[in-house]
Chains A and B, each alone.
Chain A
Amino acid sequence: MEMVVSCPECDENLIIPVDAEEEEIIDCENCGVEIEIVSLDPLEIRIFEEEEK
């Protein structure tokens, strides 16, 4: 079952796909920020910030 959490950037609902994988990056449909799925059980997410190349 897909999980719904609050986006850490905009607080809107963020759907974690049912087949999401740890370390996958998804983006918030509302604000577009990239979210990294740190772990699935327990669910831990954070904003993905790319480092300077």
Chain B
Amino acid sequence: MWSELNQPQEELILRGRVLLPAQRDRIVKSLREKSSFKIIDHMVILSDPAQLGRTTLNWGKAGQEIVGVRRKKGSGELATQLIPEDNPFRILIRDGKQYLIQLDDLTLGWVYEDEVVLLGPSLENPWEGIRRPGKGELIEVAPGDLNKLINTALKYVETTPYLRGGRSRQGLDCSGLIQVAFKNALDLVLPKHALDQMKLGQRVTQFEGCTGDLVFAKVIGRNIVHVGLLLTNGEKKVIHSCLSKGKVLAESPEGFLKNYKPVGYRRLIKKVR
């Protein structure tokens, strides 16, 4: 990032690149507090998909069955995973043999160059047409789609282990299960993190919560947000990937409440006839 002082106009023009909008906001706020100049912000935000034309070095896909996307460069800690069926990701930064990439769900993370296949920088925007539910929005689905969502999630019950950052057959974490179920059943792309999923759709109360709604809960005694899918047709269940049980399970509300304290319910989809 660099700045340019336009003295006669008393303007401070900011140029350069930052990764996140929050970083830009912090810089602008700090300069506003320290300077009387008018701040003109021309910074490029690498992670902003609206600017992908000028911030994408290249597009790529997983080059092997499962690719771990790491939270930090060179670390083993998974942010998420890539599989070959995923939509292309875009490369924001190359650093040695690693790339900082952004997936279609807007997750950021690092991969090694030999784990991926490059598709070329001038690929026509492969994210065009991706459906991402927004805040306050309800996506209309056919009645059969709700069953499809539940059945997709149920396929992982008792068969798939918990894996932090996982969203593949190797393992799923709580938000990974929700993401995979909505993508495979309804072709909707949700963010990877539970707190980001909580910003979507419409708030409902626990009494209104019904099949297909998401329940967000804190792990008891910890400030960690967990997410599960509600099933209220017949026997009530919460389908979730549980760290303490080490797998995906469909649990009774009573069982769920032994380990989790609900902090919110969200509805993302609406059945239409």
Contact = CB atoms under 8 A, between A and B. Distances in A.
Interface string B211-222: 000001010001
B263 A51 contact: no
Contacts of A36: 263
B199 A32 contact: yes
A19 B141 CA distance: 27
Contacts of B264: 24-26
Given A50-B195, A51-B223, A23 B218 contact: yes
Interface in B206-241: 206, 216, 218, 222-225
B45 interface: no
B263 A50 contact: no
A43 B199 CA distance: 22
Contacts of A26: 203, 264
Interface in A1-53: 17, 19, 21, 23-27, 32, 34, 36, 48-51, 53
B261 interface: yes
Given A23-B261, A25-B263, A48 B223 contact: yes
A14 to B, nearest CB: 14
State which size class the interface on B falls in.
10 to 19
B164 interface: yes
Nearest to B207: A19
Contacts of A50: 195, 223-225
Contact of A27 (B199, B205, B223): B199
B268 interface: no
Contacts of A23: 218, 261, 263
B14 interface: no
A25 B203 contact: no
A49 B216 contact: no
B101 interface: no
Contact of A53 (B205, B206, B216, B224): B224
Nearest to A48: B223
Nearest to B225: A50
Interface string B21-53: 000000000000000000000000000000000
Contacts of B216: 25
Nearest to A25: B263
A17 B264 CA distance: 12
Contacts of B261: 23
A29 to B, nearest CB: 8
B263 to A, nearest CB: 4
Nearest to A27: B199
B198 interface: yes
12 contacts: A19-B205, A21-B206, A24-B263, A25-B198, A25-B216, A25-B225, A25-B264, A26-B203, A34-B198, A48-B223, A50-B223, A53-B164
Interface of A: 17, 19, 21, 23-27, 32, 34, 36, 48-51, 53
Given A24-B263, A25-B216, A25-B225, 16 more contacts: A21-B206, A23-B218, A23-B261, A25-B198, A26-B203, A26-B264, A27-B198, A34-B195, A34-B198, A36-B263, A48-B223, A50-B223, A50-B224, A51-B222, A53-B164, A53-B224
